[in-house]
Amino acid sequence: MGITTTAKTKVSIGTTASFATAVAYAADDWTEITNIMDVGEAGSEAEIVTAKLVDQDYVKKAKGSRDNGTMELVVARDSGDEGYQALVAAEQGSAGFNFKVELNDKPSAGASPKNSVFYFNAIVASRRNSFNDADSIVQTTFSLAISGAIIEVPASAS
* Residues of the chain scoring pLDDT < 50: none
Note the pLDDT tens digit of each residue in 119-153: 999 999 999 999 999 999 999 999 999 999 999 99
In angstroms, rounded to a whole number, what is the distance separating the alpha carbons of residues 142 and 43?
17
Just give the CATH number of 10-153: 4.10.410
- The per-residue pLDDT for 76 is 97
Global pTM reads: 0.92
- Could you tell me the sign of the dihedral formed by the alpha carbons of 88, 94, 100, 101, in that order? positive
Give Cβ neighbours of residue 120 (< 8 Å, ≥ 6 apart): 42, 68, 98, 99, 146, 148, 149, 150, 151
Give Cβ neighbours of residue 142 (< 8 Å, ≥ 6 apart): 72, 73, 74, 75, 87, 91, 124, 126, 127
